[in-house]
Amino acid sequence: MAVASENLPITIIGGGLAGCVMAWALRARNREVVLLDRGEEVTASKVAAGIVNPVTGPKLTKTWRLEQLWPAALNFYDSIRKKTGREVFRQMPLIRLFNSPREARQWEKRLGSPGYVECLASVALDPGNDLKAQYGAITLENSGYLGIPEFIALTREMLGAGWRSGQSREVQEEGITLFCEGVSGAANPLFEWVPFKPAKGEILTLSIPGLDQQRIVNCGGAWLLPVGGGQFRCGATYDWGCSEPKPTAEGRRVIEERLGRFLQLPYEVIDHQAGIRPVVRESRLLCGMHPSQSRVGFFNGLGSKGVLNAPFFAGNFADYLCGGGPIDPEVDLCGNI
């Protein structure tokens, strides 16, 4: 690729999770970076809880390429902590409460497959009296959460004058332009051929007096994340194809119904937010260069697993841009559309 060896300046369009991770990866490789952000108040990145969960869904499926992506994510976020003195990613155990006897049996089957036993914590946590766990529970490692708004703010500080506000989608005449626009990328005419499948997610913030939890709780399609001060975030819904990022009474009803399956304490809803996830396929991002414009790139489609997936693949894409090797074939934009 011709641009790789030219050390051209790079302009990132989009200041959400994708654009910010890409900015750190490029700056770590001594590339000049300008980030252009629309400054929208409500985005998926600003609403998302940023949870990393190694085993997900009703089928208890181990996260794709976990053994590779988890250490890369830890190293990435720890490198930021070392540079800034601020911790944005917090490792935290996750307790999965089985929602039915069928789920418990499913887990027993999973233990016979490679990689599943390794997800278990060495010490199992007691669910305690405040959580319903009549069908059993497991404690998982390789979990935690990223304070995404904090991470975005820290990226803005890091870039200084390189962080700019604006609505432009214009491809820069000099250098490389990387589009990291989240769900807005679905309306970018340069990438209209990318099959976005947006998914709206709603999240509640709760006050739960008396609940002492220092772990993520997951059960029956809902999770509960302690964020300090007796407050917890709880979610999330999946409304496929919805493009209106507004909280709804139905979304709140669904979350509260799921929460009631495992929480035995009263609570108060103190906030309700919604955002549109930029899903492309299977919650796996895509990255690469435009097939006919060699200085136009794409890093998007993080979905609900972006906190885990983005660091490794941003590093891979940054290496490619710097002449350090090919794009991983499983996420290569032009090889997977």
pLDDT of 39 higher than 80: yes
Examine the domain organization and report whether 133 and 160 are in the same domain. no
Examine the domain organization and report whether 226 and 262 are in the same domain. yes
> Does any domain span residue 81?
no
Predicted local confidence at residue 239, as pLDDT: 94
Examine the domain organization and report whether 135 and 219 are in the same domain. yes
Of 242 and 235, more confident: 235
13: nearest Cα among 32, 37, 33, 40: 37
Examine the domain organization and report whether 162 and 109 are in the same domain. no
> Does any domain span residue 255?
yes
Bridge partners of 315, per DSSP, are none
Predicted local confidence at residue 241, as pLDDT: 82
How far apart (Å, rounded) are the C-alpha atoms in residues 311 and 314?
A: 5
- 241-275 pLDDT per residue, tens: 888 899 999 999 999 999 999 999 999 999 999 99
CB burial readout 32-52, b (16+ within 10 A) else e = ebbbbbbeeeebbbebbbbbb
Examine the domain organization and report whether 218 and 171 are in the same domain. no
CA distances from 120 to 5, 98, 105, 116, 124 (A): 44, 15, 16, 7, 8
> Does any domain span residue 84?
no
- 113-167 pLDDT per residue, tens: 999 999 999 999 999 999 999 999 999 999 999 999 999 999 999 999 999 998 8
Predicted local confidence at residue 283, as pLDDT: 65
Predicted local confidence at residue 172, as pLDDT: 87
Examine the domain organization and report whether 326 and 289 are in the same domain. yes
Predicted local confidence at residue 311, as pLDDT: 98
Predicted local confidence at residue 281, as pLDDT: 75
pLDDT of 2 higher than 60: no
Examine the domain organization and report whether 138 and 229 are in the same domain. yes
> Does any domain span residue 73?
no
CA distances from 33 to 19, 66, 298, 334 (A): 11, 29, 15, 24
**Average pLDDT value for residue range 7-23:** 95
- 292-302 pLDDT per residue, tens: 999 999 999 99
pLDDT of 73 higher than 50: yes
pLDDT of 1 higher than 70: no
CB burial readout 214-237, b (16+ within 10 A) else e = ebbbbbbbbbbbbeeeeebbbbbb
pTM across the whole model: 0.95
Domain that holds residue 213: 89-144+199-277
Mean pLDDT of the chain: 94
pLDDT of 168 higher than 60: yes
- 177-231 pLDDT per residue, tens: 999 999 999 999 999 999 999 999 999 999 999 999 899 999 999 999 999 999 9
CATH (domain of 230)? 3.30.9.10
Cα-trace Rg, the chain: 20
Predicted local confidence at residue 5, as pLDDT: 45
Examine the domain organization and report whether 289 and 270 are in the same domain. no
Examine the domain organization and report whether 13 and 139 are in the same domain. no
Predicted local confidence at residue 6, as pLDDT: 60
**Average pLDDT value for residue range 31-46:** 91
- On the question of a cis peptide bond just before residue 23, with omega within 30 degrees of 0, the verdict is no
> Does any domain span residue 65?
no
